Amino acid sequence: MENLKFNENGLIPAIVQDADSGDVLMLGYMNQESVDLTLSKGEVWFYSRSRQELWHKGATSGNRLMVRELWLDCDGDAILVKAKPLGPTCHTGERSCFFQRLSGEDTA
């Protein structure tokens, strides 16, 4: 925990990945309290930048994210959450928040 590097607003980006399929589901931000809650409760918590408050993912929709593993990147400034989604992750009802392709062509 001492290796976490929060930004000037006390936040760290957290990428959520489906633990079974490997699909990237969403990106959120965590503060120290939401990291602690995620670790202690086994469900994903974020800090909502727009509402300026803690956010328990799925608290209203029931589409929670059950934690399997948490990983820290090599610089300590990003978290990878491997989770089991209980329902769609995106507020639009999509399985993942990454369902809109930016370009119609392969860029590689």
CATH of the domain at 76: 3.10.20.810
Structural domain contains residue 93: no
pLDDT of residue 107: 61
Structural domain contains residue 76: yes
Structural domain contains residue 104: no
Separation CA 5–CA 96 (nearest Å):
26
Structural domain contains residue 5: no
Structural domain contains residue 16: yes
Domain count, the chain: 1
Structural domain contains residue 51: yes
Separation CA 92–CA 70 (nearest Å):
25
Residue 35, helix vs strand vs coil: helix
pLDDT of residue 102: 86
pLDDT of residue 108: 62
Query: Mean pLDDT by 10-residue block, N- to C-terminus, for the chain (108 residues)?
Result: 92 98 98 98 97 94 96 97 97 94 72
* Pairing status of strand 53-56 against strand 45-48: antiparallel
Supply the range of the domain harboring residue 23.
12-85
Structural domain contains residue 55: yes
Q: pTM for this structure? A: 0.90
pLDDT of residue 99: 93
Instruction: Answer for the pair 85, 61: CB distance below 8 angstroms, yes or no.
Output: no
Structural domain contains residue 75: yes
